[in-house]
Chain A
């Protein structure tokens, strides 16, 4: 139990996907204009990442490993994620339309979000068991959401300020992200061993 909590804590704060692992930077810069869209994207990613962590774990240990074709991991995982996203989209549209209208526009973008594929592959690389994989997928996504929401708040303020002309848009956003990353690197000092 303690191990699981440590895994969660480190996935959310210490090894934050945006600020220390650099996974999912594209949606981070793309949809962090407003806190509301950031929350929507965050939930969609959390949803998909938790399920995809479980499914890719099953496919790797039940199909790829027994057949001895571990090198097909990349192709298999990206196809699973693409199919899963499509499936979740259809399922939500049919059965939970309210959730679909909230997450709908973000779902197709998730296929090419490297955080989802990254989590699936890190689970295999780190040798997580099934429970750990699901918890890791879920908590990394929570860390991603946290980063997205914090940054959206910063960006809202930034829209009112006047940086030099050349820095307008993405450059100033990157510099701000760097400052937040500096704050997050403070968590690196925390160790459980």
Chain B
């Protein structure tokens, strides 16, 4: 486990393999709770906490859980942590718990967590799994915060409840509506795709040139 590897894991989680923008996982919550930045932050941190804990436990138990019932076991482990997060939020952040509502317990069926358990934690040791959980969780948080930032800024002219755009700005109410969520996310994913395509082209050209030099 060296610094370089950790860095590449974070790069994957944040950009090249971002759970929301590239892997297209966990779309339900990403669309539903991004009306305000504070909601997005709360949801992002909850998902990150569950992701790290479940990755660690699943990685610890990876040699004990029989292959046939692994998905069911993962779901039980994940729902245990989700219940913990749900109760903690209810006790210490009742306002956020209320506005996120149904989507906190629904973290159980959020595909990001099950996907990381199956694709990463069940095959790697504890430390890399924990870092993977953190990296993917941060990637999810950044994605929902970006989405919420656009929606809150242009939809109600505020950020974190503070008015940023003055009286001259007429908020675009549609962005706060479900329709706005779909369209904003579509545009952001298109932008990320464009960026990744450009990067791929560049890498491809670079490789091609190097090939020529060597040849």
A: residues with CB less than 8 A from B are 19-26, 29, 71-75, 78-79, 82, 111-114, 117-118, 121-122, 125, 164-175, 177-179, 181-182, 184-185
Contacts and interface: CB of A to CB of B under 8 A. Distances in A.
Given A20-B178, A21-B32, A166 B191 contact: yes
Contact of B109 (A112, A166, A173): A112
B172 to A, nearest CB: 13
A181 B178 contact: yes
Contacts of B174: 182
A118 B25 CA distance: 17
Nearest to B194: A166
20 contacts: A20-B178, A22-B178, A25-B27, A26-B111, A29-B27, A78-B108, A79-B72, A79-B79, A112-B111, A114-B106, A117-B109, A118-B102, A164-B190, A165-B194, A165-B197, A167-B190, A170-B24, A173-B186, A174-B186, A178-B183
B178 A79 contact: no
A22 to B, nearest CB: 4
A182 B86 CA distance: 32
B213 to A, nearest CB: 30
What are the 8 closest A-B residue pairs judged by CB atoms, nearest first? A178-B182, A174-B186, A178-B183, A166-B194, A22-B32, A171-B190, A182-B179, A175-B186
A175 B182 contact: yes
B68 to A, nearest CB: 12
Contacts of B31: 22, 25
Given A73-B105, A74-B79, A181-B178, 10 more contacts: A25-B28, A74-B86, A75-B79, A111-B109, A117-B108, A167-B186, A171-B193, A174-B185, A174-B189, A181-B181
Nearest to B26: A26
Contacts of A75: 76, 79-80, 83
Given A74-B82, A79-B76, A117-B109, A175 B102 contact: no
Given A26-B28, A71-B83, A165-B197, A174 B182 contact: yes
Interface of B is mostly: helix
Contacts of B96: none
B87 A78 contact: no
- Most chain A CB atoms below 10 A, which of B109, B174, B186, B187: B109
Interface in B170-210: 174, 177-183, 185-187, 189-191, 193-194, 197
Interface residues of B, number: 41
Nearest to A173: B186
A181 B181 CA distance: 10
B24 A29 contact: yes
A167 B188 CA distance: 10
B114 interface: yes
A171 B102 contact: no
Contacts of A182: 174, 177, 179
A185 B87 contact: no
A21 B183 CA distance: 16
Interface in B85-114: 86-87, 102, 105-106, 108-111, 114
B53 interface: no
A22 B109 contact: no
B191 to A, nearest CB: 7
Contact of B180 (A113, A172, A178): A178
Contacts of B183: 174-175, 178-179
Nearest to B189: A171
B105 A74 contact: yes
A108 B21 CA distance: 25
A179 B180 CA distance: 9
Max count, chain A CB within 10 A of own CB: residue among B29, B181, B189: B189
Contacts of A117: 105-106, 108-109
